[in-house]
Chain A
Amino acid sequence: MAARHTHRSRSRPGGAGFLGGAIGLLGELLLTVGALLLLFLVWQLWWTDVIADREQAGIIAGLDDEWGSVDQERIAPAQDGPPPVPDTLGDTMTWGTMHVPAFDRDRFPLAEGVSLEEVLNVKGAGHYPETALPGEVGNFSVAGHRNTYGRVFEDIAALQSGDPVVIETADAFYVYEVTESLIVNPEDVEVIAPAPGEPGVEPTEQMMTLTACHPMYSARERYIVHAEFAYWTDREDGIPEALASEESTSGEGTSDGEEAAGATGAAAAATALTTATAREEEN
């Protein structure tokens, strides 16, 4: 076998052998290109998530150290006064976290700016610098990846009217409730206008906007979610009610709650949910 192989390769320098060699080389180059494209997909669809998840977990751990822990079992009362204006620290700095109970990944960092390389690809969600801050009158707008790089807004299409979107800062939780979802063209900047959809109009409401790619794995359009400010709570008082239900909807608390709901009605169910959650946490 070895002998035959040698013989064949020796015959190549001839005329037909040269053509065969060229075709063989072309084939190998095409295979190489195919392998490179596959590797790029692996990198884009999987490795960027691995890196970004690690990065985001580190950022959140750092923030929790810096801010101190929150009492997860206490429901903070909604505050009446004007919400504190968060300190955004400067371009590309992380100044908050977002909690979206409707998302699988329900907590991720929020940084200043929407630079892909410096914020969205590495840190999580990014605040459009020109827009309002949490709690302010205007349109607090945030961008995030829907695929790849940690895909913080992967489940953005799951948001329904009334779902809470919560911003946590060093001092406070800001609770927004989703009002509507839209699909727009990439150039439709009026969605992040101070009065959403009405550029040039003086804002009167405290709004929030989330922007992400649409459809999945494409950037042809944008998925937009508008939300309206509901209330804020002091971080020292514990977690806002909107996040308390987050924990009871995931895990074993749910089944307990549902049984209670059948027996004694919705109000009892809510209590059961809270107790179940508390029990879970004690264990």
Chain B
Amino acid sequence: MYAWMFRHLPGPLWARIGITVVLLAALIVVLFAWVFPAVAPYMPFNDGLVGAAGHAPPTATP
């Protein structure tokens, strides 16, 4: 898959390597800025609240 994509990039080898690096960098930016923040609330290790099942603020009164 990746080999196929690499073969179909335009330009000489150095340009294709350059394009690959830029694409990877863009992918990481997109992941860090949007994808991971959106996914993180569903991860089970970030909640330090008492009384909060899941991630809503504690609405239950003692």
Contact = CB atoms under 8 A, between A and B. Distances in A.
A212 B47 CA distance: 8
A125 to B, nearest CB: 10
Contacts of A43: 31-32, 36
B45 A218 contact: yes
Interface in B44-60: 44-53, 55, 57-58, 60
A75 interface: no
A224 interface: yes
Contacts of B43: 44
A222 interface: yes
Contacts of B62: 189-190, 192-193, 199-200
A217 B28 CA distance: 24
A186 B36 contact: no
A153 interface: yes
Interface residues of B, number: 26
A214 to B, nearest CB: 8
B46 A145 contact: yes
Interface in A213-258: 213, 217-219, 222, 224
Interface in B18-34: 28, 31-32
Nearest to B57: A114
Q: Is the interface of B mostly helix, strand, loop or mixed?
A: loop
A52 B55 CA distance: 19
Given A40-B39, A128-B58, A189 B50 contact: yes
B50 to A, nearest CB: 5
A211 B50 contact: yes
A144 B51 contact: no
Contacts of B28: 39
Nearest to B59: A130
A148 interface: yes
B31 A145 contact: no
B51 A186 contact: yes
Interface of B: 1-2, 28, 31-32, 36, 39-41, 43-53, 55, 57-58, 60-62
Given A188-B51, A189-B60, A219-B46, 4 more contacts: A28-B1, A116-B41, A147-B46, A224-B50
Q: Which 3 pairs from chain A and chain B are nearest by CB? A: A199-B62, A189-B51, A219-B47
